[in-house]
């Protein structure tokens, strides 16, 4: 048994052995630093609106040229420039030098995607990898699909049928199922060991796919469940072995692919980001391909069921949110953070909005209720603080006037006279008032549960900020709109819900 | 109802932070990827990409470099485990080794340690940090880091003895 000193000595020797690799990888500039994201392209809104639910795809860029660990990765980062190798020379405006070309792809599960990949080259599918679950086999297995030519004329060991045979490839024995010049290759081993012969025979009989000009699609068959599809694209005329991989992943039990951000749904995704309003997972592997990653835009559409819910926010934003399932998601409460002109002492105040009359409740907790007019009340609490209540169209807005600094008298007078809201069936509607600006709005849909038992709450929070949504916490839906789940039901629908949003002009 | 966490705007320059900490970052990532240059490069690029995405928040931290290093450490561990799974499942051969056999043997047993222990080991022995500063990088208490350190050395001794016996 080595002593602690022995172990430490070996660790230090190993560290010294790693040091040349560290030196090799040191770069003068951070990865992607030379590459600015391409300007956002106009969204294909018509296409997206047609899709009731839009789901997820990943794009993984794989760098084949340096797969064996050779080359000079450090130099690669420095010299990769704004375009992929073979593209136009680097310029100081990489986005301008790399107009994006649309790349429509039909993935092996039938999903349609359109990617706009920066650079002058077109990308076409070359081969496909499909992770499938087989009934009776504990671990998922991988099926690769490629043209028969690309499979390098595999020798048949055993002919199973006119389209299926056991072959020997350079990497081992495999089942090959051939359709229209494309072959589906299933390695005859999984994490759990070799596949039973009878299961191989069943797969050979049941595996189906169609071949289209865009490659094989609709991979499936009896007892075969597709879990993840990776479509490997290559550039036309490419001599450098550059590849990118489109990945559609499904969470078990969810029939629709979803963009879940981090942690990755795909084992192959190392670098990823959600694009197209968080509906498309974009990921890359390899530094060169990562140089085009920031500029890739994409859109993908899959029709799915879901209920549409209109939501009107206190800042005037209108949204139609499509939530999977047919559960009701009524607006149960809203909140607005407001800045009030002349209220420099406090800066931001909170307005709560309830879909009910809160005047009676306020009266019970106040020492006096001062009626300003038909719509507005001033509630005076026993501790001397005041609240302004506005009741309109079944909604009540409540503003703490002395929390924690009293509103200046002049500002208060103007606000008491003018604060208003315009409720609709979709929510409290825009909150207005003299000098009042809503800076952040939050609407809760669902069931607030028992107030004494927070665990009973099952609420989907939708918020609108002045700043673009950054994706964490929760999930960005569109531009500045974020969704946050509170409760199991909300968590279940979070990944698949979508929104069409109209912001008020500012 | 709603908690608003307004983070101060970024005060640090991401490129500068990256340049200043990339050597330390690589010294932890390279061993955790088994000396695989491409994998290490991917991890660093991914860590940087995440920093770019989160810089509006992370850039306001007192030590954004620690956040970057922590992310890279987690990514390196995750990448290794993913690679092992995929190598078992796929027909792909492993990447060509670039280190000597003894070093690979040590890295293999380090990477087989529980996640925290492996992170402490690479920070202390590969990045030259003290156990206390390793704790700061990982955002854990120093006594916790010391426990991981002690257990890791014991586990490594056992694992390396087993290797020698084979």
Residues 124-163 of B with CB under 8 A from A: 125-126, 153, 156-158, 160-161
Are the beta carbons of A3 and B157 separated by less than 8 Å? yes
Decide if A271 and B45 are in contact by the 8 Å CB cutoff: yes
pLDDT, tens digit, 9 for 90 and up, residues A39-93: 222 322 222 222 221 222 222 222 222 222 222 222 222 222 222 222 222 333 3
Q: Would an 8 Å CB–CB cutoff place A357 in contact with chain B?
A: no
Question: B105-138: per-residue pLDDT in tens?
Answer: 999 999 988 888 999 999 999 999 999 999 988 8
Complex-level ipTM: 0.87
Out of A33, A273, A442, name the one closest to residue B2 (CB).
Answer: A442
Strands A349-354, A386-392: pairing kind: unpaired
**CB < 8 Å to B46, chain A:** 270-271
**A30 within 8 A of A255, measured Cβ to Cβ:** no
Cross-chain Cβ contact A67/B38 below 8 Å: yes
Closest CA to B51 of B40, B39, B64: B64
Contact A7 B44 (CB under 8 A): no
First to last CA, chain B: 61
Is A47 in contact with A299 (CB distance < 8 Å)? yes
Question: Searching chain B, which residue's CA lies closest to the CA of residue A457?
Answer: B1
Interhelix angle B131-138/B142-165, nearest 10 degrees? 110
E strands of chain B, at which residues?
A: none
Task: State the DSSP string of A56-123.
Answer: --EEEEEE-TTTTS-S-HHHHHHH--SS-TTSSPP-S-HHHH--EEEEEEE-TTS-EEEEEEESS--E
User: Is the pLDDT at A380 greater than 50, yes or no?
Assistant: yes
| Nearest CA-CA distance, residue B36 and chain A, Å | 7
Check if A190 contacts B (Cβ < 8 Å): yes
Distance CA A225, CA A273 (A): 26
Question: CA–CA distance from A91 to each of A96, A290, A334, B150 (Å)?
Answer: 9, 18, 49, 53
Beta bridge partners of A183: A146, A178
Cα A146 from Cα A299, distance rounded (Å): 25
- Show residues of chain A in contact with B118, CB under 8 Å: none
Report the percentage of chain A scoring pLDDT > 70.
57
Which tens digits make up the pLDDT trace of A276-286? 444 445 555 54
Determine the average pLDDT of the residues in A350-377.
82
* CB of A291 less than 8 A from some CB of B: no
CA distance A161 to chain B (A): 24
Strand partners, B70: none
The yes-or-no verdict on residue A428 having pLDDT over 50 is: yes
Q: Which residues of A touch B91 (CB under 8 A)?
A: 169, 171-172, 174, 187
Instruction: Give contacts of A352 with chain B, Cβ < 8 Å.
Output: 1
């Amino acid at each position: 048994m080595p002593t602690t000193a022995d172990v430490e000595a070996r660790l230090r020797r190993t560290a010294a052995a790693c040091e040349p690799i560290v030196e090799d990888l040191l770069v003068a500039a951070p990865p992607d630093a030379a590459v600015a994201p391409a300007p956002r392209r106009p969204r294909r809104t018509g296409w997206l609106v047609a899709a009731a639910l839009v789901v997820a795809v990943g794009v993984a860029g794989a760098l084949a040229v340096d797969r064996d660990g050779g080359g000079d990765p450090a130099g690669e980062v420095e010299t990769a420039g704004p375009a992929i190798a073979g593209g136009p020379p680097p310029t100081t405006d990489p986005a301008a030098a790399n107009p994006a070309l649309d790349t429509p792809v039909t993935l092996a599960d039938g999903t349609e995607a359109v990617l706009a990949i920066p650079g002058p080259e077109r990308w076409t599918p070359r081969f496909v990898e499909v992770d499938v679950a087989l009934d009776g086999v504990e671990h998922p297995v991988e099926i690769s699909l490629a043209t028969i030519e690309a499979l390098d004329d595999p020798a048949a060991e055993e002919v199973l049928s006119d389209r299926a045979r056991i072959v020997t490839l350079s990497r081992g024995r495999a089942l090959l199922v051939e359709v229209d010049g494309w072959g589906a290759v299933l390695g005859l081993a999984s994490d759990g060991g070799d596949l039973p012969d009878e299961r191989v025979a069943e797969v050979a009989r049941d595996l189906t796919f169609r071949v289209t000009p865009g490659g094989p699609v609709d991979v499936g068959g009896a007892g075969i469940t597709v879990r993840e599809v990776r479509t490997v694209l290559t550039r036309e005329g490419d001599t450098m072995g550059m590849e990118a991989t489109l990945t559609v992943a499904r969470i078990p039990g969810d029939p629709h692919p979803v963009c879940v951000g981090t942690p990755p749904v795909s084992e192959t995704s190392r670098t990823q980001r959600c694009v197209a309003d968080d509906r498309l997972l974009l990921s890359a592997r390899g530094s060169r391909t990562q140089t085009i990653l920031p500029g890739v835009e994409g859109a993908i559409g899959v029709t799915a069921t879901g209920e549409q819910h209109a939501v009107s926010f206190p800042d005037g934003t209108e949204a139609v949110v499509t939530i999977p399932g047919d559960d009701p998601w009524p607006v149960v409460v809203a909140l607005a953070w407001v800045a009030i002109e002349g209220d420099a002492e406090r800066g931001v105040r909170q307005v709560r909005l309830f879909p009910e009359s809160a005047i009676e409740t306020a009266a019970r907790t106040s020492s006096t209720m001062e009626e300003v007019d038909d719509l507005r009340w001033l509630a005076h609490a026993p501790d001397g603080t005041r609240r302004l209540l506005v009741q309109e169209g079944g909604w009540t807005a409540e503003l703490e006037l002395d929390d924690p600094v009293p509103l200046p008298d002049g500002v208060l007078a103007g606000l008491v006279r003018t604060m208003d809201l315009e409720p609709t069936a979709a929510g409290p509607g825009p909150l207005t008032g003299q000098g009042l600006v809503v800076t952040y709005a939050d609407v809760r849909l669902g069931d607030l549960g028992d107030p004494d038992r927070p665990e009973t709450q099952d609420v989907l929070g939708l918020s609108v900020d002045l700043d673009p949504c950054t994706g964490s916490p929760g999930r960005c839906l569109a531009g500045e709109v974020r969704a946050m789940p509170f409760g199991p039901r909300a968590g279940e629908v979070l990944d698949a819900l979508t929104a069409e949003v109209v912001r008020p002009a500012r | 109802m709603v908690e608003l966490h307004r983070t101060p705007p970024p005060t640090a320059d991401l490129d500068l932070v990256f340049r200043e900490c990339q050597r330390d970052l690589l010294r932890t990532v390279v061993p955790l990827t088994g000396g695989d240059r491409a994998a290490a490069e991917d991890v660093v690029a991914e860590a940087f990409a995440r920093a770019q995405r989160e810089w509006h928040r992370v850039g306001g931290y007192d030590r954004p470099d620690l956040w970057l290093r922590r992310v890279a450490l987690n990514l390196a561990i995750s990448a290794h485990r993913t690679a092992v799974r995929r190598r078992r499942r796929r027909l792909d051969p492993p990447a060509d080794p670039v280190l000597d056999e003894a070093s690979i043997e040590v890295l293999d047993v380090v990477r087989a340690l529980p996640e925290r222990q492996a992170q402490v080991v690479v920070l202390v022995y590969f990045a030259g940090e003290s156990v206390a500063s390793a704790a700061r990088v990982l955002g854990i208490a120093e006594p916790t880091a010391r426990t991981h350190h002690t257990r890791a050395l014991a586990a490594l001794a056992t694992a390396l003895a087993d290797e020698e016996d084979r």
